[in-house]
Amino acid sequence: MKNLFTLLIVLIFVFISENSFSQIAYKGTVKYNNNEGTPVKSVTVQLHDNFGSLVSTALTNSQGKYHFQNITPGTYTLSYSGYCETIRFDLNNANKILMHLLGTSRLNELQLLTADIDGNGTVNWNDLAALVTDFFVYGQKHEIGKYVSIPKQITIGENSLKDFEDGTVGAVGDPDGTFKPTIKNVYDAIDLKYSNSIKISPNQFIEIPVYLKNQPGIGGFALSINYDASAMNFEQISSQIEGLNYNETDGVIKLSWQNTTLGSNKVNLSEPLFIMKFRTSSMDEIKDLSNITFNKESQIIDANGIILQNAQINIPSFIGSVGVNDLKDIYPNPIYNSATINYSLAAPYKVTLSVYNTVGQLVSNLVNEEQNAGDYEIVFNRSYLKLSAGSYIYRLECKGEQSFIQSKIMIIR
C-alpha cells in the first residue's frame, strides 16, 4: 500500500510538471523598417499554428514589446497589423516608387508591400499617382498608413523563454522608411521671400507669380499654400510645367508634380514656376488681407529624389488699397475717335455715368446699373454716340449710403 501511494504521488508530480513546463512564454519587439529600427507601439501581433489557427494575440507597448504566455512548444507564424498614426506625405517615397517603375532600382519584398498604395497586389504607375495626386493633392488615403509585414516563422522550444525577438513592419506609402512612427515630423524646406508688392483693390482679378530661385534642375514638388479665402476667390493655376496637379479647399491650395522621365526637368528661372489667379472680394473683406504663406509640409526634390533644404521661392506681398470715390480724367482729351473713362467706388452704389452738352441736355447714358466697390473702365466711341465737335460734360452720379456726384469736361475734335 505504501509503494502504491508513493507511485501515485510520483505520477501526479509528473503530470503537473509536464503540463507546467510545456506551457512557456514568448516575448518579442516590433520595429519599424527604417535605419534606426524604431520600436513601434500599438501593433497587433498574432500567433498562428501550422494549420493557420489563431493561437494568441498581443499588442505592443510604448517600447514596441509584446508578450505571449502559456504557449505550447512548436512551430508558429507571427503576423503584424495596425496603422501608423503619424502618416504624412514625403516626396522621397514617391521617388522610390518612380525609380522602381523606371527600372533604375528595385524594391525589396517588404518595400513592395509598402509601395502598393491602392492595395491591388501590384506596384505600377497607378500607385505613384495615388500617392502624389490622390493622397497629397486630394487627401484620399487609399491604404496609406496601414502596417504591412512579411509573416515570420518561429520555433518555440521546450522550457525556453524567447526575449527580444524582433519583427519588422513597414507602412503603406513609405517604401523609403522615412516615417517616424512615434513622431509626426514635418519639413521646413521652403525659404519663402516676398520680393515685391501688389496693390489690391476690391473686385479685382489678380495674378500671383511664384518663382523658384537658384535651382533650375528639380525632380518634383509638393506644395501646400494658404491664402485668405475671406478676401480672395481662387480661380485657377497656369504653369510652365506640364502635368501639374492641383486642388483648392477652404483657403488651402495643394499642388504636386513629379518628373516621370530620367534626369531633371530644367525650369526657366526667369519665368514663374506657376501663376495663381484670384479675384478679390469687397472692400471690407480686403482691409486686413493676409499674405500668401506655404505650409511646412511643402517639399521640392532634386533629380536624385533628395529634398532640397531652404529652397527659395519668391512671391509678391499684398498692399490693400484704401477705397475712394473718384472720377478720373478722360483719356485722351481732346478726343478724336475713342476715349476711356476710369472711376473708383469705395462702396456699392446705384451708378449713372452720363454725357451732357454745355446747356445741360442729356446726350447719352454710358452706365446705369448697380455696381460693387472697385475700379471700373468705360470705353466709348464718339461716332457711336454721334457727338459733334465741341465741349461736353461727363458726370458720375452714385446713389447709396454716402451718395456723391462728380463732373468733368471733355472736348471732342
pLDDT given for residue 199 in this prediction: 73
pTM of the model: 0.70
Q: DSSP per residue over 276-293, as a string?
A: EEEEE--HHHHTTPPPPE
Q: Where are the domains of the chain?
A: 24-185, 190-320, 326-412
- The CA distance from 84 to 359, in Å, is 82
- State the cell numbers at 110: 517588404
Specify the DSSP class assigned to residue 356.
Answer: E
Predicted pLDDT at 321: 60
Q: What is each CA distance from 373 to 36, 342, 379, in whole angstroms? A: 59, 13, 19
Nearest to 400 by CA among 336, 323, 320, 334: 323
The whole-number pLDDT of residue 16 equals: 43
* Sequential DSSP letters for 117-183: TT-SSS--HHHHHIIIIIIIIT---TTTTBEE---EEEEEPTT--EEEEEEEEEETT-TT----TT-
Whether domain 326-412 has CATH 3.40.120.10: the reply is no
Residue count (the chain): 413
Per-residue pLDDT of the chain (413 residues; tens, 9 = 90+): 555 555 455 444 444 444 444 568 888 999 998 878 889 999 999 999 999 999 999 999 999 999 998 888 889 999 999 998 888 888 989 999 999 999 999 999 999 999 999 999 999 999 999 999 999 999 999 999 999 999 988 888 754 445 556 889 999 999 998 777 665 556 667 899 998 877 777 778 889 999 998 777 888 999 999 999 988 899 999 999 888 999 999 999 999 999 887 665 677 888 999 999 999 887 666 766 789 999 988 999 988 888 888 889 999 988 766 567 889 999 999 999 889 999 988 778 899 999 999 988 999 999 999 987 777 889 888 888 888 899 999 999 999 878 889 999 999 98
Given this structure, which CATH class describes domain 24-185?
A: mainly beta
According to DSSP, the β-strands at 190-200 and 217-218 are: unpaired
- DSSP string spanning 235-278? EEEEESSTT-EEEEETTEEEEEEE--SSSPEEP-TTS-SEEEEE
Q: How far apart, in whole angstroms, are the C-alpha atoms of residue 413 and residue 411?
A: 7
Confirm or reject CATH 2.60.40.680 for domain 190-320, answering yes or no: yes
